[in-house]
Structure 1
Amino acid sequence: MESFEGIYLNLSKQPGRTRFAEAGLAWKPPGTGETFTLDSSQLVQAQWSRAARGYEVKILSRADGVIQLDGFQPEDFERIGKVFKNWYSVNLENREHALRGWNWGKAEFGKAELSFNVQSRPAFEIPYTEISNTNLAGKNEVSVDFSLPANGEETGTNGHLGGSRKNGRKSGAARDQLVEMRFYIPGTVTKKEKKEDGEDVSDGEDTEEQNAANLFQETLMNKAEIGDVAGDNYASFQDILHLTPRGRFDIDMYEKSFRLRGKTYDYKIQYEAIKKFMLLPKPDDVHMLITVGLDPPLRQGQTRYPFLVMQFKRDEEIVLDLNLTEEVIEGKYKDKLKSHYEAPIATVVSDIFRGLTNKKITKPSTSFTSHHGQNGVKCSVKANEGHLYCLDKAFMFVPKPATYISIENVASITMSRVGGAMAASRTFDITVTMKGGAGEHQFSNINREEQGPLENFFRAKSIKTKNEMIDDSSAIIAAAMQDAELASSEDDRVVNNRGSADEDDESVDEDFQADSDSDPAEEYDSDHKSSGSDSDEEMADADSDGPAKEEMVERPKKKVKTSK
């Protein structure tokens, strides 16, 4: 038996003792922690290299993937090399890392990790178990998202998982965590298609040109088991409208995770990340909203989305058969899932989510109804319009920014009017102040008719409410009178605006003779003479030397005399 002290397992926070024996190896943490063991039959490959705390032995196992033992001294290489060669029949390879600091190189897909090599030496390696998602961030750019631990104490050395590293447990050992990396992959590559029997085609046969970034992303998805290869697909929903993040996504549901597939982004979300699930009817009586709270939140570049907001039509029904056998449903999902669904799509999606996640579906409180008989109240958060829902234990504003406020954390609510008399008479604002100085949330432009229902709900939940609005109705009456005056003035302006016709009452036309026998000829009378006839005759005689020409010359003189 060979024993080594001060060895860290998978970047654990505390060092432990490592022992190598002919039957396998073991690592024991300090204190009363759980001992990690690895059978010798599980060892596939091992390499020796410089690491963070000295030298490390990286082991590739059949079941647990990559295992790192860090903290060895340089003189330990010969001892450990003999152990692996004599007892495990595995050659301990001495591998040096690239130290040039170049950011360009060649990416190679190994059995358990992605290696980025510079001049045939690895600059860094990324285990597939630490990758949560990958997307095309551009035409030639691939983003790689890393899994985040549930909490800072979650490492690969805690719990029943032993030393296995999965779903971000390794990153839980460090204070700073890498959450995203991007690769720029230009050009195209020739992808060989496979024949029906699974063999690759030979050179010169059917091949296709493909974007190198697309091929890199597809390969990484297969290696990291993201998407279709993550297990059997239980159910799929096509082209579902999402208000947050904005877009249409296909939803694929698996045993332990679900996947959102869009034109640009592709997400894989574990059911463990779902903390809240709400079914909210939209006040338009047409749509239904499903809101999913995530922790850790969904990341899209630098933007975080702690809530997913999906929108469905209430009257849209769907017929769906789950991709599960009756034995599995009766045994594993009894009273949780059904083999056949025929109901509105929002109901089907929520029922399947509830069966797979074991999360309670939260609905609006039955003790609140708006003035118009709806569950939500229309309001705004800054420049974003949405609806505020009163739940039994919280307030929820959707769709953007989706805001969840727990009632037990609310210190007080202030109701106030903002703006002049006219604006204040129609709408009001509420400001929710949180306990412990945690800030406040303001919801504005709420209809004046919703004041009574909201006050009743606040009173029922024993929430301290402060009303800064004017109790007397003087401002409201003044605003109503002002509205009436404006409306009447506008009507008078429309009725009385008859132009010069109003001037007939002030002055009398002296030339008008009521008893005159001569009536003006109408346009349809035969005696009617067009006003343009004189000008037509003058234009006809314009080229002659007759009297018409002389008259045309003398006319300007008459105009000059009259002007004087």
Structure 2
Amino acid sequence: MSDKKNVDFNSIYCGLQPDLGRFRLSQNGLGWKGGRDRTVIVATDDLKKMSWTRAARGFELRVLQTDSTVLKFDGFKPDDLEELKESVKAFYKISIEVKEVSVKGWNWGKTEFQGSNLNFSVTNKTMFELPLAQAIATNKPGKNEVAINFVDPGQPAPEGINPKDVDELMDITFYVPGTVAKESVNNDTNAEEDEDEEVNADMVFYETVKSKLELSQMTTENIVQFQEALCLTPRGRYNIDMYQDFLRLRGKTYDYKILYSNIIKLFLLLKPDEVHVLFVDIGLDPPLRQGQTKYPFLVFQFVREEEIDVDLNLEDEALDEKYENKLQKHYDAPTYEVVSNVFRALTGRKVTVPGSYRSHHGANALKCSMKANEGFLYPLEKSLLFIPKPPTFIPLNDIGVVTFSRVGQSGGSSRTFDMKFNMKSGNDIQFSSINREEYANIEDYLKQKKIKIKSEGNEDTIMSYTDLAGLDDDEDDEDDDYDSRKRRRTGDNVSAGASAGADDEDESPDEDFAPDSDSDVPEEYDSDAQGSSEGEEEAGDD
């Protein structure tokens, strides 16, 4: 064997590469060459350890380098093991370790962290490995549970593969019961007391996974960070880390990565109390997930008078060339203005603000209820938006007829009325407990938008408007984009928000959330006053 200069093996895969290549061993090192001029070369001095195990595509040779990097070559046949052993022993003076794989099918075992991999073993045999370097998030969906998410929303399929033919592991949840002993901080006289202390095993496991993810994801520096932003849907406080192509929401329990390309619309809305401003990211596709609950909307709330002084981590050249002066190097302005400007520049989406509609009290929205949830309905130029829970987006061109009920009751027995939107798709969206003083203003708004109106008390009387043809032409491309993505999602309900599934005071389930409730958000974020007036325009120009 020592007389041979090279030993070749054909039809070998390298890592997750879809194409086959040639694997070669020589005195100077080992290498792999596949299609499209893809080449991997490892020098002899960089080789540390090799192992042989069963894999999905035949048998696999794992190469551990001196810098702890692991390369995987699979597609070998069982008969190749002996030749590999002899060649590796002769060329590199290294023995190949044969590892057996557990095939018991048990779902309980032991976990061990080896570099960036998480090994799950049963009876001291590896059952599977998880490459944490490819994970995007981890969270705790329940007691004693730790979930790890792998698929990046919007992540393209491997090159050369049809996306419809790709099967990927999206997430995996571990059940970690019991407690473990707390490690001693030092070896002084308090060491015995430290050994008696115990912590939950699931929290230790969760923190370890989280540290591995943060280490692997620190490949680029963030442009700016907004700390402790109050999010109403899903409820909690999050740090918003803005990068060039995506943003990260980092909370106490949940950690999300959102591509800017998945954000369809942005709204900046003043609450009727004139104290708070709501910033809404709408149409996340795919939506955020907390357990079985999906959130296609993000609703942030900022204090109107709160200001921020921050510098962006961008060079002057990038500000001039890539962002075309849409961003500034330094900001000293109200927080909601800075956040909306940064989102608009990085996502490339316009920020929509309220239009000409004014309520009876001069606000941009009218107070109403959707089922048991109180909120605000914003009549905008091309849509209506109900927030905060459940956030509901209603494009004007999707509305068939608007039906009013309890409006014409004599005697003044009712101070409120109801309004139902009969959508062209067949769904009905109803809002109730609307002050009767708001009827004239919302009726004028619907007339201006040429929406058909009828009263429930007189089904034959329909206020119709013939000039409906031009409405669809006025809609911009973003409405069409939203509609197409909405149809791809399962279910026909356009209302998208639901209760969260986290047992946490900051990110707790929001079944009982109401914007006027003292128990849901801190006192400084409560709002029960009405009245507002703010100039509005389509904020592509701000």
TM over 0.5: yes
Partner of 2:429: 441
Contact conserved, 2:382 with 2:396, CA < 8 A, in 1?
A: yes
Partner of 1:305: 295
Size of the aligned set, in residue pairs, is 441
Contact conserved, 1:47 with 1:57, CA < 8 A, in 2?
A: yes
Does residue 343 of structure 1 match 2:333? yes
Tell me: CA distance 1:386–1:114, structure 2 relative to 1, closer, same or farther (3 Å).
same
Write out aligned runs for 1:379-458 (5 A).
379-408=368-397, 410=398, 412-417=400-405, 421=409, 426-435=416-425, 439-458=427-446
Per-residue CA deviations over 1:311-360 (Å, capped at 9, x if unaligned) read: 111122222334556676567656243232221111122223334x3332
Write out aligned runs for 1:12-51 (5 A).
16-21=19-24, 24-28=31-35, 36-40=38-42, 47-51=51-55
Q: Which of 332, 344, 347 is the matching residue for 1:358? A: 347
Tell me: CA distance 1:267–1:157, structure 2 relative to 1, closer, same or farther (3 Å).
same
- Paired AA for residue 187 in structure 1: T
Counterparts of 1:273 and 1:206, CA distance in 2 = 51
Q: Which of 123, 126, 149 is the matching residue for 2:127? A: 123
Per-residue CA deviations over 1:264-315 (Å, capped at 9, x if unaligned) read: 4444444454343221211222210011233332222222222121111112
Tell me: CA distance 1:458–1:48, structure 2 relative to 1, closer, same or farther (3 Å).
farther
Contact conserved, 1:9 with 1:70, CA < 8 A, in 2?
A: yes
SS at match of 1:222: helix
Does residue 133 of structure 1 match 2:133? no
Per-residue CA deviations over 1:25-71 (Å, capped at 9, x if unaligned) read: 2344xxxxx66443345987654333345434556689997666655
Q: Which of 279, 289, 310 is the matching residue for 1:290? A: 279
Partner of 1:479: none
Tell me: CA distance 1:362–1:334, structure 2 relative to 1, closer, same or farther (3 Å).
closer
SS at match of 1:99: coil
Counterparts of 1:126 and 1:48, CA distance in 2 = 18
TM (norm. structure 1) is 0.64
Q: What's the CA shift for 1:394?
A: 3.6
Contact conserved, 1:148 with 1:172, CA < 8 A, in 2?
A: no
Does residue 188 of structure 1 match 2:180? yes
* Greater mean deviation of Cα atoms: 327-336 or 114-123: 327-336
Write out aligned runs for 1:312-351 (5 A).
312-323=302-313, 335-351=325-341
Q: Which of 171, 185, 189 is the matching residue for 1:179? A: 171
Partner of 2:496: none
- Paired AA for residue 310 in structure 1: F
User: Greater helix percent: which structure?
Assistant: 1
Counterparts of 1:406 and 1:80, CA distance in 2 = 65
Counterparts of 2:281 and 2:104, CA distance in 1 = 45
Gap runs ≥5 in structure 2: 1-6, 462-542
Q: What's the CA shift for 1:3?
A: 5.8
Q: Which of 143, 149, 156 is the matching residue for 1:145? A: 149
Q: Which of 10, 16, 19 is the matching residue for 2:16? A: 10
SS at match of 1:389: strand
SS at match of 1:347: helix
Counterparts of 1:415 and 1:64, CA distance in 2 = 67
Gap runs ≥5 in structure 1: 29-33, 160-168, 194-200, 475-564
- Paired AA for residue 431 in structure 1: F
Contact conserved, 2:52 with 2:97, CA < 8 A, in 1?
A: yes
Contact conserved, 1:108 with 1:116, CA < 8 A, in 2?
A: yes
Does residue 465 of structure 1 match 2:471? no
Tell me: CA distance 1:394–1:173, structure 2 relative to 1, closer, same or farther (3 Å).
farther
How much identity, in percent, do the aligned residues show? 38
Counterparts of 1:66 and 1:382, CA distance in 2 = 55
Identify the structure with bigger relative contact order (alpha carbons < 8 Å, sequence gap 6+). 2
Counterparts of 2:406 and 2:59, CA distance in 1 = 66
Counterparts of 1:255 and 1:360, CA distance in 2 = 14
Counterparts of 1:383 and 1:358, CA distance in 2 = 34
Counterparts of 2:365 and 2:47, CA distance in 1 = 59
Tell me: CA distance 1:369–1:90, structure 2 relative to 1, closer, same or farther (3 Å).
farther
Per-residue CA deviations over 1:422-455 (Å, capped at 9, x if unaligned) read: 67774131224144x6x44333344445455445
Does residue 220 of structure 1 match 2:209? yes
Does residue 156 of structure 1 match 2:158? yes
Q: What's the CA shift for 1:399?
A: 0.8
- Paired AA for residue 188 in structure 1: V
* Greater mean deviation of Cα atoms: 127-136 or 300-309: 127-136
